[in-house]
Structure 1
Amino acid sequence: MCTRYISPEEREMEAFWKVDRRSGRRENWDHLLTVFPLSLASFIRRADGVEYARELAVGQWGLIPPWSKTNVPVTARGTRLSTVNARIEGMEKSPAYKDAWALGKRCIIPAASFDEPNWETGKNVWWRFRRADGAPWGLAGLWRTWTDSDSGEVWDSYTMLTINADGHPLMGRMHKPDPKVAPDKQDKRSVIPLEAYEVDPWLDGTVDEARKLLKLAPVETFDAQPVLPEGTEPGALGREIAAD
């Protein structure tokens, strides 16, 4: 699962995705380049009341479920809950995500790159994933609005959708494998990149139309390489894999 990514500059997001307006600004918010769980960052959603209009919002990475007593997501019993990533296989029944999915609260999470752990050497080596064509990623997500019952403060928050990547020639190599589980049963996870022509169906389409967009990206989409010390010349491993 993805737990850190780099956000593009706001001007790039507005130009690339043809964003019509901004909303959901928060006081004392500064645009972050590197985004971690529970950080505030920009995401793109449909503008209310205007068909095919998009707006740039600011929300917490880590969707706040409706029962949570705090903006830090917790279960109904009050224990910490990780909602940074949501498995698509269970989101339609998950108490945390099912309403956002059913109500069409889908979003695009802009990323210049994202990082994933690779354990093929026996220890964690972070890999960085960019698009091979140089464009920013538009990653599929869900969002919702939560209101603090004590203060009345309104929060937008979002989660990044993931899909099973077992067998994918690149994404299936990420994350620590379980030696007790067969290679095709590891449940390795991948984010879900959306192409530019898929943005309108994702943001404005029906649930059935959106579901058809939930798929793995071809390996040639990726430019992936280990995060190496500064000054080291890396190879474009994603392109090398695609060419094999």
Structure 2
Amino acid sequence: MCTRYISPEDREIEAAWHVGARTPERWARDMHPLYLSPFMRRARESADYERELVTGQWGLIPVFSPSHIPQTKPRKGETKGKRLSTVNARVNGIEQKPTYRNAWTKGQRCIIPARSFIEPCWETGEHVPWNFRRADGQLWGLAGLWDTWTDFETGEVWDSYTMLTLNANLHPLMSRMHKLEFDSKTKMPLPIQDKRSLVPLEAHDFDRWLTCTVEEARAMLELPSVALFDAAPLAVQQP
């Protein structure tokens, strides 16, 4: 699962998607779970189709959650609320998962802009972060879901989002990422792994992703081609 990515500046988002010019919201560039970051969705206040750029928490807050931990930067020793691992959502069975079911069935899909994202490779036996950029130099537009959560104590409304992931066991590149699971007795890698991949969208599919039916959206979710990536260890390729 992805737990770090590099967010573009508002001017880069405007140039790529024609939305969010001179937005007053600020966000960190080096994104981690529970940070506030921009994402695009279908505008809710417009009768006609329009995109809107909003800032929300990376880590979808379920509608049933009693509390959460919003962050714009790390907070050491923070204990308030219950932190749920919702920065990534597995597509398989998503319509049955209480955390994501509301957003998925309502078609609350979003596009998450990213300059690059970072994944761990354990082929050497050690954690080696790899940086993933687009080979064509464009920004990533990653498939996600968003939802709105209300704090019933304060009345404050929070937007939040999650990135969708697919099984990547057979993907030539993404299957190399993340740590292998081993049998406790034989010490051999388990035959069934669950490597994951984010789902990048292409420019011709951006509007369709935000407006199509749930059935059509599921059909759009495919593993990316290896040719799409410019990937290397982070030590030799800065994001």
TM bucket normalised to smaller: 0.7 to 0.9
Question: Which of 7, 30, 39 pairs up with 2:35?
Answer: 39
Q: Which moved more, 1:173-182 or 1:119-128?
A: 173-182
1:8 maps to what in 2? 8
Question: Which of 209, 212, 215 pairs up with 2:219?
Answer: 212
What is the alpha-carbon distance in structure 2 between the residues aligned to residue 79 and residue 7 of structure 1? 25
Q: Which moved more, 1:135-144 or 1:11-20?
A: 11-20
Question: Which of 87, 102, 110 pairs up with 1:84?
Answer: 87
CA-to-aligned-CA distance 1:90-125 (integer Å, 9 cap, x gap): 211010101100101000000000000000000100
Residue 122, structure 1, aligned to residue 125, structure 2 = yes
Q: In structure 1, what residue type is equivalent to 2:12?
A: E
CA-to-aligned-CA distance 1:113-162 (integer Å, 9 cap, x gap): 00000000001000000000000000000001111010111100000111
Cα pair 1:166 1:172 within 8 Å, conserved: yes
What is the alpha-carbon distance in structure 2 between the residues aligned to residue 217 and residue 129 of structure 1? 12
For 1:100-115, what aligned pairs fall within 5 Å after superposition? 100-115=103-118
What is the alpha-carbon distance in structure 2 between the residues aligned to residue 112 and residue 12 of structure 1? 9
1:30 maps to what in 2? 26
2:50 maps to what in 1? 53
2:64 maps to what in 1? 67
What is the alpha-carbon distance in structure 2 between the residues aligned to residue 91 and residue 53 of structure 1? 26
Question: 1:21/1:145 Cα in 2 relative to 1: closer, same or farther (>3 Å)?
Answer: farther
What is the alpha-carbon distance in structure 2 between the residues aligned to residue 226 and residue 32 of structure 1? 22
What is the alpha-carbon distance in structure 1 between the residues aligned to residue 219 and residue 20 of structure 2? 26
What is the alpha-carbon distance in structure 1 between the residues aligned to residue 164 and residue 62 of structure 2? 15
Cα pair 2:11 2:22 within 8 Å, conserved: no
CA shift, 1:208, in A, is 1.1
TM (norm. structure 2) is 0.87
What is the alpha-carbon distance in structure 2 between the residues aligned to residue 83 and residue 22 of structure 1? 29
Moved over 6 A (4+): 20-23
CA-to-aligned-CA distance 1:18-55 (integer Å, 9 cap, x gap): 227898x7xxx632111100000000000123443100
SS at match of 2:144: strand
Structure 1 unaligned regions, length at least 5: 235-244
Cα pair 1:108 1:141 within 8 Å, conserved: yes
Give aligned pairs, total: 222
Structure 2 unaligned regions, length at least 5: 71-80, 184-188
2:209 maps to what in 1? 202
2:199 maps to what in 1? 192
2:162 maps to what in 1? 159
Residue 172, structure 1, aligned to residue 175, structure 2 = yes
1:139 maps to what in 2? 142
SS at match of 1:143: strand
